[in-house]
């Protein structure tokens, strides 16, 4: 959570299983030596030299919430961010279920002829403890965090319905942090909407 004028907004970020990697017939080989973000499990495989398919099962509405805290009184110091990924046991259960469904999809009669092998997580991952161990070692944040300055009318809301920080005159927050809960899709469109509406609010006060 982030503390603003005595109010706190929780950091919400979706969790991804890291990677689902399968050797596949007919898949084009696309490798990059400068991947922006990969899971530890994916990084351990090194660069792919043959065709493969990757899938990133994710949970868009995790129960876990993280924190963003000040490192020091110096504004130039970066904040301390703790995503707390999979901090709630229910999130592990939910993500494991999505992964099992992903495996089932690739095992269907339609997909099975194109799958040569499952590299990650691997067939040895089967029971609840196997999934928990794999996910805790390979999961990563799926970006699109929201909520640290959540909008609302309750005592815990950081900004009001016009993006004004409660308790501080002349200050607004107009970005994805005011979104109180993760949307099921990408946050780009909602953030553009927040920015356009926030710009209207600023113009109306001039």
CATH of 12-66+78-144, one of 1.10.3720.10, 3.40.50.720, 3.30.410.40, 3.20.20.100: 3.30.410.40
Q: What confidence tier does 10 reach under pLDDT thresholds 50, 70, 90?
A: low
pLDDT tens per residue across span 176-205? 999 998 888 889 999 999 999 999 999 998
Catalytic residue annotation: 144
pLDDT of residue 34: 36
Which is higher by pLDDT, 30 or 107? 107
Q: Minimal CA–CA distance to 180: which of 158, 151, 160?
A: 151
CA–CA separation, 52 vs 25, rounded Å? 8
Q: Domain ranges in the chain?
A: 12-66+78-144, 146-206
pLDDT of residue 48: 52
Gyration radius of the chain's alpha carbons: 21
Q: Minimal CA–CA distance to 116: which of 21, 23, 20?
A: 23
pLDDT of residue 24: 56
Using alpha carbons, list the distances in angstroms from residue 164 to 1, 72, 173, 189: 18, 25, 7, 21
Q: What confidence tier does 141 reach under pLDDT thresholds 50, 70, 90?
A: confident
Structure tokens at 170: 């002349």
């Amino acid at each position: 959570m982030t503390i603003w004028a005595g109010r706190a907004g929780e950091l919400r970020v979706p969790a991804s299983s890291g990677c689902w990697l399968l050797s596949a017939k007919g898949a084009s080989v696309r490798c990059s030596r400068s991947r922006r973000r990969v899971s530890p499990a994916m990084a351990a495989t090194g660069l792919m030299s043959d065709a493969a398919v990757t899938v990133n099962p994710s949970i868009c509405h995790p129960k876990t919430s993280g924190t963003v805290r000040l490192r020091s009184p110096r504004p130039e110091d970066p904040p301390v961010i703790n995503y707390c990924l999979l901090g709630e046991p229910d999130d592990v259960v939910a993500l494991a279920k999505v992964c099992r469904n992903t495996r089932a999809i690739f095992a269907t009669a339609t997909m099975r002829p194109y799958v040569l092998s499952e590299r990650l997580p691997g067939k040895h991952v089967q029971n609840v403890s196997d999934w928990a161990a794999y996910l805790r070692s390979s999961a990563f944040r799926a970006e699109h965090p929201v909520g640290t300055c959540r909008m609302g009318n309750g005592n815990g809301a950081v900004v009001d319905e016009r993006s004004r920080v409660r308790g501080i005159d002349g200050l607004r927050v107009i970005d994805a942090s005011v979104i109180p809960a993760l949307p099921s899709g990408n946050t780009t469109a909602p953030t553009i909407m927040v920015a356009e509406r926030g710009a209207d609010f600023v113009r109306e006060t001039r």
